[in-house]
A and B are shown apart, each in its own frame.
Chain A
Amino acid sequence: MATPAPHNNIPVVQFSRVSKTFGDFRAVDNISFEIHRGEFFSMLGPSGCGKTTTLRLLAGFEEPDEDGGEVRLLGEMVNKKRPYERQISMVFQNYALFPHLSVERNVSFGLEQRKTPKGEIGERVRRALGMVRLKPEQFAQRMPAQLSGGQRQRVALARALVLEPTILLLDEPLGAIDLKLRKEMQLELKTLNKQLGITFVYVTHDQEEALTMSDRIAVMDHARVAQLGTPAEIYEHPRTGFVAKFIGESNFFEGRADARNGGHWTVRRADGGVFHVVDHPSLAPGKQVRISIRPECMDVWKPDAVPPGENAVEGTIRDVIYLGETMHLIVTLPGNEEVTIAVRNEGQLIKPLPWKRGDTAAVAWLPEDCQILEDD
C-alpha cells in the first residue's frame, strides 16, 4: 500500500455531515467526526444504530447519499472511490477467509492484488503471521476449514495487517469467539494498534470491549452520534440518557429546577422532595431537569445518619445481590422507582453488609456526582 501521506496533522478520517438512506430508512443521519492518526476509535451502539453503515461508508462498500456530505481519507474526498482504491484494510465479522485458499494464500492475497514484488511477499506473510502469533511453519499450509475460530480470527487479522494499511477497519471481529480468548484478543489488538501506529476503527455493540480498547468512542443511536469522547468522558459524563444507560448502569432522577443557591441548584421532584445539583449552564428556574448517577457514586444509610450536604431519598431495600467484587443493593423508592447502588464487597463472611431485604434505608449521593442529561 502507498506510503502514508506526509501531512501528519490532517485527520486520517473525516466525516462531514454524512447521510446514507436505504429506501425509506435513514441508516446514517448527518454525522460528522474526525479520526486522528494512530487512534483506536470505536463506534459503539445497539444493532440498527448506524455503526456498521458508517464503517461501510468508510470502507467504500456504500456511497453517501447525493448531497449526503463528504467522507475524506487523509484529506482526500473518497465518496465515489471503490474499496480497492482506498488505503484501508478490514477484518470482517465472520472473518471472510477465502475457503479455497490456504492460510498463506489468504494472507498474501492483498499483496498479490497490490502488485507487491514477488520476493517480498513470502517474508511479509511470515511477519504478519508472527504478528498475530501464528507459527508460519505450522499454519501457513492449512486451509481455513482446518482452523479453530480463534485461529481464523488471527488469520483474518494477519491478512489485513500484512498490507500495512493506514487505516484498519474492524467489524465486530471478536463477536464469535469465547470470552476468555476475547479478553486476550482485546489486549492484543490494543497493543498492535500502538506498536504499528495504524489507525484502528472498531465497530462493536459491546460497551466493555469499547471501554477496554478505545482511545475515543463514538456512541451511536438512531443513525446519529449521541456522544463522542474518551472512555472516561463517556462513562463519567454521559451527555444523554441513552448514553448513560447504554454504557454501564445508571440511576435516573427528574425534577424541576427551583432556585440557585451559591454553586448549587435546588431541583424539586414531582413528589415534593428536593435534591441539589452543581451549577450548569443549561439550568434556569422552572426548567425540567433529568440527571443520572452511577451506582458506585451512591450510598445507603440509616435514614437518620445521612451525612450533611448529600442528596437523600428514603426507600426500602428490595434485594441484596452478591457479585463477588461488588454488592448491589436494589432500593425501591416512593413512586415505585428503583435504583441500584454498588458497594465494594469487603468480605461477607468477615464484614457482612448490615442490610437485608425489607429494611428502610436512605440512598444518598453528592451533588457533584449528578450528570445533568440533555434530551436524547
Chain B
Amino acid sequence: MRARTWEPVVGPRATGPWARRASIALLVAGAVAVLVPFAWMVSTSLKPEAEVFRQPIQWVPRTTRPENYAEATTLIPFWRYFLNSLIVAIPVVIGTVMSAAAAAYAFARMRARGLRVLFALVLATLLLPGEVTLLPSFLLFRELGWVGSYLPLIVPSLLGGGAFNIFLLRQFFRTIPLAHDEAARLEGHGFASIILRVVVPQAWPAIALVATFTFVETWNDFLGPLLYISDQDRYTLPLGLNFFKDIYNTQWAHLMAASLLALLPCLLVFFAAQRAFTEGVVLTGRKG
C-alpha cells in the first residue's frame, strides 16, 4: 500500500476551469454550512445569558463573557465528569486496540482449523443491532453486581474489541508482506513479538484509526452510562451535560461553554490522528 499523504488529490476528473471553479464554490459553501453550527456554539458560549436570544441574531456578542467557561465548570462538577469520562475511555481504547489487533492478526495471517468460520461469525455480528443483547447483558451485569460501576462499560471492550475493528485491522494487516513475519520468525521471534515488532509498526495508521474511533465513540457514548451509572459523582460527561440541561435549561451560554469543553478532547484526538485517519478512511470507509 502506498501511503497517501494529506495532499490535495490532483484530479483529472475536473474538466474545464469553469467546472473547477463551480466545484470549489460548492465545496466552500458546503464547508461554511458545516462550520456555521460550530461558530454559533462558540458565539453563544461567550454571550451574557440575556443576549442569547436577542433578535436579530448576533454573531459577535456585544459584551464578551469568557467567564461563562469557568462558571459552567462549577455549575456542574464538570472536571469530575471529565475525569470520569477519561477513566472509562482510556481502558476502553487500550482494551479495544489490543484485543481487536490480536484477533485481526490471527484472522489475517494465521492458519488453523475453524478460523474461517469464526471470521464469518465476526462479520455476521456486524449486522446484529446492539438492542438485541442489551437487556440480557444488563441483567447479567446486574447479577454480577457491576451495575453502578464502570465495569459494564469497560470489560466488553477487552473481549474482542468489536467486529468492525477486527475487520478493519484484518484488512490492513493483510497488506503487510508475509515475508516480514517469516524473517522475524527465522530470527527466533514468537508470535507476540512478531505482532509488536513487525505488524504494529507497519499498521500504525490503522491502529491509530481504530484508537481514534474508539475514543470518540466511548467519549460520546450516552446509552451505556445512562443504563449503568446512576450515582451523580460517577457521571460521565454526556450524562453530566444532559443533567445540566435538565436543571439549568435556560442557561444556554453556560450550557454551550460546557458542551464545547466536552467536545474538545475528541477534536484534539482527531487532529492528532488526522494523517492516519484520512489514510485509513480512504482505504476502508467506516460507518460508526
Chain B binds chain A: no
